[in-house]
Every structure is written in C-alpha cells, then in structure tokens.
Amino acid sequence: MSRPTIAAVAQAAGVSVASVSRVLNGLPATEEMAERVQRAVEQLGYVPDSRARSLKVGRTFQLTLAVADVGNPVYVTMMRAVEEVVSAAGYRLVVTTTGADVVDEVALVRGMARGYADGLLISPIRVDEDLVKSIRECEVPVVVAGNVPAKAGVDTVRANSPKGMLLAVDHLVARGRRRIAFLNGPADTVPGAARAKGFADALHAHDLEPVAVAEATDFTFAAGRAAAPDLLAAAGLASSQSHRRRSAAEPTPTTTRPDSEGLAPSQFDQRRSAVEPIPTASRPDGEGLASGESHRGRSAAEPISTSSRPEGEGLASGQFHRGLSAAEPTLTASLADGEGLASGQFDRGLSAAEPIPAASLADGEGLASGQVDRGRSVASRSDGEGLDAVICANDLLAVGLMHELAAAGLRVPEDVAVVGMDDSELAEQSFPPLTSVNLGSAERGRRAAELLLARIEDNDRRPRRIVVQPSLSVRRSTP
C-alpha cells in the first residue's frame, strides 16, 4: 500500500495543496480549513515527510544539547528543563557528551556545519581560544550554559558560583564551624576556577583561612572518594583515623557483617561479676541467642537489656562492653538500612556520662564505634587545630567524601559538617541528606533553551548574558 501524499490529503479535504501545507506548517488559516485538513490527515493516516519539510523550510527541527557528562545529575536536571521548552516549540532534542577535553568540545561545535541540528546549546567544562573562535564562527546559532568571554559574541546563561560559595560559608560560620576545608574538582575547569575563587573570597569575608584544600581529578563520586585522604592529610588527619589510645590489653573490636559472621564465644569477657546486668540480643522474629552465648555465671534475677535490628537480626550479647556497671546505659548502634553494629565495637572504658558516637554509611557498611577516639573529636589534631566542615565543588564529590569520612570514623555532621553544590537529586538521596547550594540548573536550562529558540528566529539580535542566582538547601549534613 502506497504512502498517502499531501495531494491526497488536499483532495480529501477539498482544498489546495498550498492550503494543506499552510495548516501543517502552522501558518495562518481559517478554522474551517484547519479542521477539514486535520480530518483528512487522520482519515488517510498521513505522516509529513520531515526530510522534505526540512529541505523546504531550511530547518531540521532538531536541537543539540552538549554536556561534559550525561551521567552527572546536574546535567540530567538541565536536560529535562531544556527538553520541556524546545519540545513545546516543536523541536526534538539530541543530547551528546563532550567529555572534559576542550578538543572534543571544539570538534563538536565545528561539526554543527553538517546541518543535523538547527542550533546548539553547549555547557563547556573547559574553555580556550579555539573553542571561543569555533563558537563565534559556528554556522548555526549557539547558546552557552556556562561562562565564556564576551568576545565569543553568543548568548550565555551561567550560575553565580561565588555567591553560592558565600552562602555555604555564611551557613557554616553561623553554625559555629570555622575550621573549613574545600574539596574542589579540577581547578583548570570553568566551575573549578569559579568555585575555588568563591571559596577563598568567602573565607576572607569572615577573616578565616582554609584548613585544607584538595583537588579531585574529576567532578565524580569516585574522584571524591579518591581525593578525600589527601584532604584529611592536609588537615593533619589520617584517613584511617581510629582510636589511638587503646591499651594493648584491651580486646580488639570486631565489625559484624550482614552475612551473619559474628564474634567467637571466646571474645566474651570472662571477668564479669555475677551482679552485673548482662545485655543479650533478641530478634523480632523470636529467634534469640543460644543460651551458651550468654555470660557464664549470670543470676536468673539479673535484668536483661536487648538490642534488635530493623530486619530482625540480633547482635551477639558478648559484643557489648565488658565491665559495664549496672548503672551504665546499654550501647547499641544501627545503620539507616537496618544493618547493626556490634556493641562490643564501642570503646572499652567509657564512663556512663560519655556520649556514644555512632558511625554509619549510606551503603550499609558499618564502622566500629570503638574507632572513634574518646577525649577529643576525631576531627581535631592534638594541637587544637583541625577540621570541622568541608565544602565540596559539587554533590558527587560531597557524597564520595562522606563515604571516606565514615570509613575514617568521622560522623557527619557531629564531627564534620559537609556542604555540596548543585542541589541535585543526589543531595536528598544521600545519608545523611546533603546540605547543598542550589545553582539553578533547571532555571539555567530553561533560560538557555528560550534564548536558543529566540536566536533561531532572529540571529541578528544582540547577545544576552544572564546570571542565575543561587540559594541554599539546608539538610542534615550540617547541624
């Protein structure tokens, strides 16, 4: 069966081919004519030939969005906003990745001459003279979501990173945090340079000096984890910081794992007096511990404290602190995903009045609470200086850092407050939820898409440079 043609639609509608073309291209037509053409189109199942339409009107009705990393949540948010605007105007959005190499950015801009899109919205992570020149000479309209020199002669929409950094520092200082470090991405990138300068200026506004500054190799989660030890070392802290004053005679704490590997019965303290209360572990499903696992010599009249985990897996009672007095509170630790920590992992020799720090990870890997040094904050050095807050150049770096802080026995926010930038979906999904500077990625996407559509309609208009102002979303990663 042959494909319906525009001539067949015109015949079925009782109008001229020119009239059908006017209606299909959205040009002015009477209401009656438009209804007749639409009925004929539906009746015949006519599909316009986009290639013929492109040749006729000189447009592909496609736009290209180029970003460094389509996996970065901030670019996903921007892409959704751009797509919403351009699809409403009848355009399809083609998304491509440039990577972090400016050479690839230049190649993409020059490739626009092939005519596969009517315009380009690019968010370059690195900018040099070749990129500026290629943008200025591009054969299709270009809008930059980012910062390029004015001599590029293009519309730009950028974030106010320095102001965002000031919001973050103001917030931390108001919360009593003054020993602030900075985890940046590559400093030779547009966001890296802007945020590094913003951090320095914000600290200067409060008469503060940075405790430490570290530079990750990329703006990714993995790069954040990899750079965290350097940041802690620069602040005078070992990334494997654990309890340094444990005596050799004390039993070594052991971490229980979700695979049910517990502690051997020999790890139970054999010196407990008969009058001490013996904590035992129970499980909501009614499965308790073997009687042989409880303290030997325990009287029947002794009270029993219990510890349970949300998924019903109990903790071995022998993992509790040895030598606790009856007045001391029972120590338990849990993780957000329900995987508990062995109470025996708490530091031995705690007084009942001491607070019990617990450490948790978003991925469910628990830390032994005994790894936290009693008598001073783990984030502090012996000379009284140290680290009590870190600002990260984006949310991916911040979440990577939080994993490493937890692995070092540091609690967020009790020991170290953490602030990210971008306020992406990841900020709400992390544990604890991440305080983050909202740099308006969705707003930047919308404004850039509107500028590109306007530029396509009138390529002679003067370039506009728009700055989107930031805000701060406060969550539990800061006190």
Q: What SS3 class is residue 157?
A: strand
Which residues is 64 bridged to in the sheet? 94, 120
- Chain centroid offset of residue 117 CA: 31
Q: How far apart are CA 82 and CA 44, in angstroms?
A: 34
More confident residue, 191 or 332: 191
Work out the pLDDT band at 6, boundaries 50, 70, 90: confident
Q: Are strands 142-145 and 155-159 parallel, antiparallel or unpaired?
A: parallel
Q: Which token pair is 331?
A: 């120590």
What was the pLDDT predicted at 53?
53
More confident residue, 479 or 373: 479
The per-residue pLDDT for range 322-365, each reduced to its tens digit, is 333 333 443 333 333 333 333 333 333 333 334 333 333 333 33
What was the pLDDT predicted at 134?
94
Q: How far apart are CA 227 and CA 223, in angstroms?
A: 6
The per-residue pLDDT for range 263-288, each reduced to its tens digit, is 343 343 433 333 344 344 444 444 44
Extract the runs of DSSP E, i.e. beta strands, from 152-272: 155-159, 180-184, 213-215
More confident residue, 180 or 368: 180
What was the pLDDT predicted at 17?
80
Q: Smallest Cα–Cα separation from 309: which of 343, 278, 277? A: 343
Mean pLDDT of the 26-34 span: 79
Mean pLDDT of the 429-436 span: 96
Mean pLDDT of the 223-243 span: 79
More confident residue, 25 or 446: 446
Mean predicted lDDT score pLDDT of the chain:
75
Q: Are 456 and 426 in contact (CB under 8 A)?
A: no
What was the pLDDT predicted at 238?
61
Q: Are strands 155-159 and 465-468 parallel, antiparallel or unpaired?
A: parallel
Mean pLDDT of the 68-95 span: 93
What was the pLDDT predicted at 453?
94
Tell whether the model's pLDDT for residue 248 goes beyond 80: no
What was the pLDDT predicted at 357?
39
Mean pLDDT of the 365-384 span: 38
More confident residue, 308 or 224: 224
More confident residue, 58 or 255: 58
More confident residue, 462 or 370: 462
Work out the pLDDT band at 179, boundaries 50, 70, 90: very high
The per-residue pLDDT for range 92-105, each reduced to its tens digit, is 999 999 988 899 99
pTM over 0.75: no
Work out the pLDDT band at 7, boundaries 50, 70, 90: confident
Q: Are 468 and 444 in contact (CB under 8 A)?
A: yes
What was the pLDDT predicted at 121?
97
What was the pLDDT predicted at 145?
96
Work out the pLDDT band at 23, boundaries 50, 70, 90: confident
Mean pLDDT of the 452-457 span: 93
Please state the φ and ψ torsions of residue 94, each to the nearest 5 degrees. -110, 125
Q: Mean pLDDT check: name the lowest of 1-10, 218-227, 315-324.
A: 315-324
Q: Are 224 and 392 in contact (CB under 8 A)?
A: yes
Q: How far apart are CA 414 and CA 432, in angstroms?
A: 11
Mean pLDDT of the 290-310 span: 40
Mean pLDDT of the 445-459 span: 94
Q: Mean pLDDT highest for which of 295-304, 312-321, 468-477?
A: 468-477
Q: Which token pair is 348?
A: 């031995």
